[in-house]
Amino acid sequence: MPLEKVGFEDSLKRLVVPELCVGCGSCVAFCPMKCLEYSDGLPRLVGRCTECGICFQVCPSCGPPQEEIERLIFGRERRTEEEFGVYRRVVVAQTTDRRIREVCQDGGLVTSLLTFALEEGLIEGAIVSCVSEEKPLKPVPKLATTVEEIIECAGTRYVYSPNPLAFREALARRVRSLAFVGTPCQIRALRRMEIIPLKRYASALKLLIGLFCSESFTYEGFVVDGIKRKLGVDPKDVKKVNIKGKVLVTTVEGEVEALPIEDAKKYSWNCGRCGDFSAELADISAGGVGLQGWTLTVIRTERGETLLKRAEEKGLIRVRPVEEEPKAYRILVNLSRRKRRRLLRRR
Ligand SMILES: Cc1cc2nc3c(=O)[nH]c(=O)nc-3n(C[C@H](O)[C@H](O)[C@H](O)COP(=O)(O)OP(=O)(O)OC[C@H]3O[C@@H](n4cnc5c(N)ncnc54)[C@H](O)[C@@H]3O)c2cc1C
């Protein structure tokens, strides 16, 4: 794909100023001049920009259209009836590993696939999101290179985590094969990076796992105002946060406090222009809608299919057809439709 020559100052005017920037950190991660830094959820220019155009080209908030990326990744565009993007198969999956079951968000599919890929030597590391040591519930991008580290990072933080930033560390540590876990906007940025292609990163990227995402939240809003002030729960006493119709906060003591979803929506990250609920460009997409203890799993590519089958054959996960969970499937279709329509209305 020919690179449009755009300097960062111009990107700022075209993306950050009109609030199109989602703060994913991809421009910072992939800037070859290392002239960008990430602070307060936004990229900042801190060095000399050579106007190479890469920051603009990897940005998930600008062209090319989704259909063009689909053709390059899947060899075809999404059919109209494929409401949640191009896919091969939809299943529900669950880990058989007790350590993962104790800490995962839904069925532990994501963490199981990562640990399996690492143990089988398919990857040397996984870019995921861990929790800040200083601020409980604050997510921080992380390059995990051991099974223990991957398991420590299981579970969902609903605050936005700019996972692409960890690519810099992966490059510095010469990690040659990587899996990436992230939100739909981040998966889109990485597909754009692959298409350019930025070879040193693209050749290392072996697997893209996308998380379903209605929206993400700010730390000050969701955690400080919502959980701490409104619910009166100290973030360091929180064992798990889950969103199932409302925000359910489980404490280490086992108590469950609920925050209405309408209250949480006030803390929204800059997600209003995203029309992708199910991470439509990932190899495998994962969510928990309509299920308890299982991950709703959309397999989109051959490499995603191969990995899932191998993990199932090894007995690391159990898999059932989605036909056994029609309600979960219906919610996936409805939420995908709703998010796509929201984007079309904003255009
Ligand atoms: C911001 C956000 C919003 C979501 N919204 C929905 C939704 O509306 N509906 C739905 O069905 N599912 C949603 N999910 C996905 C869901 O919460 C689970 O992540 C998914 O079902 C996989 O479950 P699991 O047990 O297989 O994952 P696990 O095995 O628990 O692994 C989860 C992985 O996600 C990574 N992670 C955690 N927090 C973040 C973060 N903030 N950003 C990037 N990576 C992270 C972890 O490091 C880990 O690798 C959302 C996830 C996020 C991060």
Specify the pLDDT at position 344. 78
Phi/psi at 96 (5° precision): -105, 0
Note the pLDDT tens digit of each residue in 112-150. Answer: 999 999 999 999 999 999 999 999 999 999 999 999 999
Atom of ligand 1 nearest to the CA of 211: 15
Note the pLDDT tens digit of each residue in 21-74. Answer: 999 999 999 999 999 999 999 999 999 999 899 998 999 988 678 899 999 999
Pocket of ligand 1, candidates 115, 116, 156: which has the most ligand atoms within 8 Å of its Cβ, to mutate?
A: 156
Within 6 A (CB) of ligand 1 lie 104-111, 128-129, 139, 153-158, 161, 163, 181-183, 211-214, 216, 286-289, 295
156 alpha carbon to ligand 1 midpoint, in Å? 4
Please give the full DSSP string across 111-178, using - where no structure is assigned: HHHHHHHHHTTS-SEEEEEEE-SSSTT-EEEEEE-SHHHHHHT-S---B---GGGGHHHHHHTT--SE
Atom of ligand 1 nearest to the CA of 159: 41
Asked if 312 and 319 touch (Cβ cutoff 8 Å), the reply is yes
Specify the pLDDT at position 70. 96
DSSP H stretches of helix in the chain: 8-11, 26-30, 54-58, 66-74, 98-103, 109-119, 147-152, 167-172, 184-195, 199-202, 261-265, 302-313, 326-346
Specify the pLDDT at position 16. 67
Specify the pLDDT at position 17. 64
Asked if 279 and 285 touch (Cβ cutoff 8 Å), the reply is yes
Pocket of ligand 1, candidates 105, 270, 322: which has the most ligand atoms within 8 Å of its Cβ, to mutate?
A: 105
Question: What are the chain's domains?
Answer: 1-63 (3.30.70.20), 97-216+271-347 (no CATH), 219-265 (3.10.450.750)
Name the closest-CA residue to atom 16, ligand 1. Answer: 287
Asked if 238 and 250 touch (Cβ cutoff 8 Å), the reply is yes
DSSP category for residue 341:
H
CA–CA distance, 270 with 24 (Å, rounded to integer): 10
Token readout for 276 is 């992708």
Name the closest-CA residue to atom 48, ligand 1. Answer: 154
Which residues, including other chains, have CB under 8 Å from residue 32's CB and lie 6 or more apart? 52, 54
Specify the pLDDT at position 10. 77
Which residues, including other chains, have CB under 8 Å from residue 248's CB and lie 6 or more apart? 241, 242, 256, 257, 258
CA–CA distance, 268 with 164 (Å, rounded to integer): 20
| Positions of the chain with pLDDT under 70 | 1-4, 15-18, 63, 346-347
Specify the pLDDT at position 220. 97
Atom of ligand 1 nearest to the CA of 103: 30
